[in-house]
Amino acid sequence: MARESSIALKTIMSFSSDGRQKQRISDLEDETPLIQNEDYAEDSSSSSSQLLPRHRRHQASQTHINMGRVPQPKSRIISFHASDKVKDKYPPNVVRNQKYSLITFFPLVFYEQFHVFINLYFLLVALSQFIPPLKIGYIITYFGPLCFVLVITMGKEAYDDWKRYKRDQENNSRKYQILTRDGLKNVPSSRLRVGDLVFIHKDQRVPADVVLLRTTEPSGSCFIRTDQLDGETDWKLRIAVPICQKLPSDPSLLSLDAEIYADAPHKDIHGFIGNFSKQMPGNITPQVEALNVENTLWMNTVLASGTAIGFVIYTGKDTRAVMNTSHPSTKVGLIDHEINNLSKILFLVTFLLSFLMIALNGFRGLWYIYLFRFLIIFSSIIPISLRVNLDMGKTVYAYQIMNDKKIPDTIVRTSTIPEELGRIEYFLSDKTGTLTKNDMELKKLHMGTMSYGVESIDDLSEQLATALQQAKDSSGRAPHGKSRRDMTSRVRDIVLALALCHNVTPVFEEGEEPAYQASSPDEVAIVRWTERVGLTLVFRDINEIHLRTKNDDILEFQILLTFPFTSESKRMGIVVRDKATNEIMFYQKGADVVMSRIVMYNDWLDEECGNMAREGLRTLVIARKKLSEEVYNDFTEKYGQAKLSVSDRKAQESAVVSNILEKELELLGVTGVEDKLQDGVRNTLEQLRAAGLKIWMLTGDKIETATCIAVSSKLVSRGQRIHQISQIKDSEEAVEMLDILQSKNDCCLVIDGTSLQFYIDHFKNEFIEIAVRLPVVVACRCSPTQKADVTRLIMDFTKKRVCCIGDGGNDVSMIQAAHVGIGIVGKEGKQASLAADFSITQFSYVLRLLLWHGRNSYHRSAKLAQFIIHRGLIISIIQAVFSALFFFAPIALYQGLLIVGYSTLYTMAPVFSLVLDQDVSENIALGFPILYIELTKGRSLSLRVFFEWLMISVYQGGAIMIMSIILFEDEFVNIVSISFTALILNELIMVALEINTWHYLMILSEIVTLAIYIVSMAFLPTYFDLSFILTDTFVWKVAAITAVSSIPLYIVKLIKRYWFIKTYEK
């Protein structure tokens, strides 16, 4: 037993490099065991033949409970022969995105609804009707509107959750084949378990996180689509475990005495550390293969080629897809905050009006009971239907945006904040793919002493052909001169480097030109350029690259190692062996800021990179190093040890690469790639600046490139000065630069990421106070975290509305942090688009989105809120006047169906039709962007506007009630029908007076509503005496009351229209 334990321990230790193995064993032995006696038990996460002490088994167990604490996900070792008991201890592979269950639906929905003050207030008012002294009218009067709001809200929540349930059911019930000792079995996705061997076919969704064991491709490679996981549209190459790929058949997997080590579940979809360990017969030490993310298929990716067999390592909530499924906090628009504040004021108005009625009556009798009765009578001042109407309005705005043919394919993903589009004051934009097309073309190649542009491509092609022919036939005719010979060989070296150092894969479809799959448009641009000059990429898999010359010769290279590009390293490399010469070469390309520290000394790199950047070109530095067999073998040995490490694997790998490969690299040249500006970007930026927006460009490019794009895109206006801050590293210089900047209020600030971070860390308030006053800021070399930090900094300091726009995964953080996030569907994928509140396909669409749809959404919601508030105020004022004239009696004038119909059948349609109104025409809104500045001031729902509507309500309510009593003193019994009819007509007229642009649905709503009211009189004899209503006296006197209440408002409106000339009319 002790010997078996030793074997198992060595198996685990083999996962670490040799240099760390001894220390790790010591660490294990020194740890205090959780169970003191040295009893042994079967390791539940290893094969049945391997036994470990309980306290050592704890190191690899995911579900071990330490001293009663809730277990956290840990690394795991999974045997190919794990028992059902072991498999069942991991989370079930069930996808569940539902927000509610049958049990929790009503409690949670009720909590969410009555968490809102207005709904809670009306619930208390409705419940008060069960108290006899407080009962006023019919209970339906109070429960009706509340139930109406709840039914609509609950119906929407139930429908949305039902759709989520159906999607979950579809995913969980999808069938997959698993390989067992009893043959192939079909099981639903929800029944897959850790340790299962699952078949995945072409175009099939990966059901769990798996390690790729075998593919139908002999090379063991396959492609996957990851757009549903990370938003990127390019295909990703994945590689099977070599040991498994070499097996004679799929069932051979069942006879393997093997296990897989997988690190603890985490959210990083680009990182994975694991090992595949196979016990060899007769050997104590197992055969170990290092596993990384290239050996995995994550859940919700799609297999794009062939058939694959995967070993399930994570299920359910442990999968990358589920761990990255976050529900971002709901964004609340500024208008919603303003409505909340007005609701508090309305509650205060309700209380003060009720208190005033009691005070004017001298606090007689049971005044406190009367106070509560008046609070109930005047409860319509607080409009319970306001939020429902606004939400319905937002749905209309979202529909109009998505169906606007002038901005096709625009998607509204967050329908709760369309009004925010009309309140933006700070506009933060990415550069690449946002202001530019991400449509790359290699424009320049510089090699130190020679530079080639588009115009010299024929000469370059000729030199390459000459060099390739010389390499093919060493006995051929020598070049004309030494300098010429040197230049042709240098051309060959750099073009060959560009043709080999990339991750591009050619995809050939029948009858079509070859397409290139790559993670970056830069790489595709470079490969297409090498094709133009005479080296075409015709084949690539995990083992080889084939290039075709213009003479149709095939150059074959064996891929020995690849080092993918990462945002941290800012470079990529590849080690290849030329099959013709057996020569091993390491090629590397990357950003100049990194490569300049790696390549051998030169006196031209920095200068030429700066020159290209000033032309607006994106630069890449190309270098190489020839490796001898000894150096290569030494490297592979040390790199292989680093790859087996389960802790700090990336750091150890990078250290080996830096110490061996990235020493004395020969600089070959620099490429300059042009990224063309988006269509209409100049006009869009000029219009946005005219609209009063302060524009910031946040980019990862260098200062020179960003400055050039800022000027060419008209982000910097003509004659505007540019103030540059870079490489700030001490406080004295930082303060000096701020002092200089403070006196330049109309300049463009260009700042690099290092300086920006220094200011954020040491002079945050001082820097942002000056920066937010500037019309344009360009921040260069920004990381995704810095972009989000700048966004939050502006929001917190200014309290103004901030909009962020971008197209890539590095823009997601700032898009989600902003008040409004706009994502552009880019060539690199849809990650930004999926994370954004609004998705567009072109940058120029943002102009229409803000200046037209933003304007309409804000103005319409503001006017809708004004009228709904007015509707509640005016009927309460009528009630107050009625009570004041009749001894301050807390008796409701309108009860039952009248009060219910007032806010629904009799006024709702005309008032809601205001969501179709346009205060100015489309041409004026887009032609006079200065009008947008008025929106940002938020005057449509200011306290001044609120008190104007309060005075209007007081006047009209008082006029209707007093005139009704004066004109109808002989028919006092009909006071309800008289005043209520005048009230309804007044509201219909007021809606008509406020409409700027008539829509046929507006006219229809007015006519239909009036007809409904007239017809309903015949069915409500309790409130309407038809014999009285059909008389001429009733008609002309109601008309007179309505005229007195509405005509003065019309006159005031005419005076304002002609006296106060609008901005665009001046």
CA–CA separation, 819 and 394 (whole Å): 16
CB-based contact 469:534 (threshold 8 Å): no
Q: CA 816, CA 804: separation in Å to the nearest integer?
A: 9
Q: Is 674 annotated as a binding residue?
A: no
Going by C-alpha positions, the residue among 907, 1061, 921 that lies closest to residue 998 is: 921
User: Dihedral of the CA atoms 19, 20, 24, 27 (nearest 10)?
Assistant: 100
Instruction: Tell me how far apart the 2 most distant CA atoms of the chain are, in Å.
Output: 125
Angle at 1013 between CA 1011 and CA 1014, to 5 degrees: 65
Helix (H, G, I), strand (E, B) or coil at 1037: helix
Is residue 974 a known part of a binding site? no
Question: Is 638 known to sit in a ligand binding site?
Answer: no
Let me know: does 275 contact 290? Beta carbons within 8 Å: yes
Name the 3-class secondary structure at 698. Answer: strand
Q: CB neighbours (10 Å) of residue 19?
A: 11
Q: What are phi and psi of 262, to 5 degrees?
A: -130, 135
User: H or E segment at 872?
Assistant: helix 855-885
Q: Active site residue: 196, 209, 430, 752, which one?
A: 430
- Environment class of residue 293 by beta-carbon count within 10 Å: exposed (0-12), middle (13-18) or buried (19+)? middle
- SS3 of 491, please? helix
Which residues lie closer than 8 Å to 675 by C-beta, 6 or more apart? 432, 436, 437, 438, 439, 440, 616, 618
241 vs 310: CA distance, rounded Å: 10
CA-angle at 188, arms to 186 and 192, nearest 5°: 95
Query: Residue 16 burial (CB < 10 Å; 0-12/13-18/19+)?
Result: buried
List, as one string, the DSSP characters of 426-471: EEEE-STTTTEEEEEEEEEEE-SS-EEEGGGHHHHHHHHHHHHHHH
Annotated ligand binding at 810? The verdict is yes
Ligand-binding site membership of 589 (annotated):
yes
The answer to whether the annotation marks 38 as part of a ligand binding site is no
Tokens 């060539």 appear where? 827
Q: Is 430 a catalytic residue?
A: yes
Q: Is 565 annotated as a binding residue?
A: yes
852, two tokens: 């037209």
37 known member of a binding site: no
Distance CA(294)–CA(215), nearest Å, equals: 14
Q: Are 869 and 946 in contact (CB under 8 A)?
A: yes
Q: Residue 85 has which token pair?
A: 């008991």
In single-letter form, the type of residue at position 761 comes to D
Radius of gyration from C-alpha coordinates of the chain: 37
Residues constituting the chain: 1066
Q: For tokens 């009663």, what's the residue?
A: 68
Angle between helices 943-967 and 334-360 (to 10 degrees): 40
Instruction: Give the H or E element holding residue 790.
Output: helix 784-798
CA distance 960 to 393: 30
Q: Does 699 appear as a known binding residue?
A: yes
Which parts of 737-837 are beta strand (E)?
748-752, 776-780, 801-806, 820-824
How are strands ordered across the β-sheet holding 274-278? Answer: 76-79, 258-262, 274-278, 287-291
Residue 601: Cβ within 10 Å count: 6
- The reply, when asked if residue 701 is annotated as ligand binding, is yes
Helix (H, G, I), strand (E, B) or coil at 59: coil
Residue 393 annotated as binding site: no
What is the DSSP-derived secondary structure letter of residue 332?
Answer: -
333 closest CA partner among 422, 410, 425, 428: 422
DSSP code of residue 263: P
Active-site residue list: 430
* Known binding residues: 430-432, 523, 565, 589, 618, 699-701, 781, 787, 807, 810-811
* Known binding residues for Mg(2+): 430, 432, 807, 811
* Known binding residues for ATP: 430-432, 523, 565, 589, 618, 699-701, 781, 787, 810-811
